Amino acid sequence: MRIVNLTQKERENILENLLHRSPNQYGEYEDTVQEILDDVKTKGDKALFNYTEKFDKVTITPESIRVTEEEIAEAYEQVDDKLIEIIRKSLKNIKEYHEKQICYSWFDSKPDGTLLGQKVTALERVGVYVPGGKAVYPSSVLMNIVPARVAGVERIIMTTPPGKDGKVYPVTLVAAREAGVDEVYKVGGAQAIGALAYGTESIKKVDKIVGPGNIFVALAKKAVYGHVSIDSIAGPSEILVLADETANPRYVAADLLSQAEHDEMASAILITTSAELAQKVSEEVDGFVKELSRKDIIVKSLDAFGYILVAETMEEAIETANEIASEHLEIMTKNPFDTMTRIRNAGAIFLGEYSSEPLGDYFAGPNHVLPTNGTAKFFSPLSVDDFIKKSSIISYSRDALEKIHGDIEDFASAEKLTAHANSIAVRFEK
């Protein structure tokens, strides 16, 4: 990996380079995506069937688009029992973590006749998109479905592209059933997002769409926002390791590569105060790359978006980490908890040398759907909050309103909204 002395100029160059990975940089695909969405909106199932045959080389019909109970049972027979047990252990941890996020309605009643409150209501229908293609991610199935189920969503609908045999990956189906999905449809790409957003003869419109996907899926979610809610516009995966001279270079190298193997656009960055550690990590990376199965992807990722940055002070290192606002941040310093208190921007923070990033991907419980491309400065991980809405509750008695009706009328009059003022005043006409 390239080793760079951290300067203000280098920091600016790196931030600019990382922004090139954002889905917002791929405007040339927007017209194609919009054409697909418009087609699905006007032609419904017919468009879904045509695009599935065109892109996935699979023929689906109104009878075969929805996964059946028989197909789910077949999937369970094809998945190793040990893996099913692991999925259930992971599911338990994810569920218990998200149950701590549950919000409840509240009401505050006072003796003067006022009652204020907040009513929490789960969304009625949520769509979960699950990608096919390069890899299968049952962990993402769990992470997207479980918080929706914990929130109390009434109906959870999953869409995923079929394989060449016209079926959904068995482990994807098993994970979906274990997590509590209600319906699964064999359709992917921008056309699946259109179906969830607008509805078709087979797939009913949802209130919100969540889940990762390729650039066409990301741009489709961006385009339908407003018709439905979405979780975020996800970019490529990224990891930043913040380390000092106490860090184990072999662990650091392994963790950087755990994200670089996702795809060619993934980002892996080490910021350290130790030039010696930087050199050792670079050597360990070279050794690991020779052994790993996704070598070609890793090399392209590291060449384009991999950095080892050597900072003069830990303060400078932390400042740079906050500027990058990485999806995953590992802290391997002498006192990681102290370092963590100075971190403002990160999707998920992993403390200490035994808290590597895959722990969060698969098993610990916190959600692995995280803000990318610097959006951790203002976005949070997917959570139960993403699947609820809140309504304000206001109730005043006549006595309570009478005490302040003049103030409201004066306020409304100051804004020249006389009908607002009259709406209050009419209740106290003599």
Which residues in the chain land under pLDDT 50? none
- In tens, the pLDDT along 139-198 reads 999 999 999 999 999 999 999 999 988 999 999 999 999 999 999 999 999 999 999 999
Q: What is the pTM of this model?
A: 0.92
178, 238, 284, 328: the active-site residue: 328
Q: What is the pLDDT of residue 386?
A: 97
Q: What is the pLDDT of residue 25?
A: 61
Q: What is the pLDDT of residue 24?
A: 62
Q: Is 264 a catalytic residue?
A: no
Q: Is 328 a catalytic residue?
A: yes
178, 238, 284, 327: the active-site residue: 327
Per-residue three-class SS string for the chain? CCEEECCHHHHHHHHHHHHCCCHHHCHHHHHHHHHHHHHHHHHCHHHHHHHHHHHHCCCCCCCCCECCHHHHHHHHHHCCHHHHHHHHHHHHHHHHHHHCCCCCCEEEECCCCEEEEEEEEECCEEEEECCCCCCCCHHHHHHHHHHHHHHCCCEEEEEECCCCCCCCCHHHHHHHHHHCCCEEEECCHHHHHHHHHHCCCCCCCCCEEECCCCHHHHHHHHHHECCEEECCCCCCCEEEEEECCCCCHHHHHHHHHHHHCCCCCCEEEEEECCHHHHHHHHHHHHHHHHHCCCHHHHHHHHHHHEEEEECCCHHHHHHHHHHHCCCEEEEECCCHHHHHCCCCCCCEEEECCCCCHHHHHHCCCCCCCCCCCCHHHCCCCCCHHHHEEEEEEEEECHHHHHCCHHHHHHHHHHCCCHHHHHHHHHHHCC
- In tens, the pLDDT along 364-420 reads 999 999 999 899 999 999 999 999 999 999 999 999 999 999 999 999 999 999 999
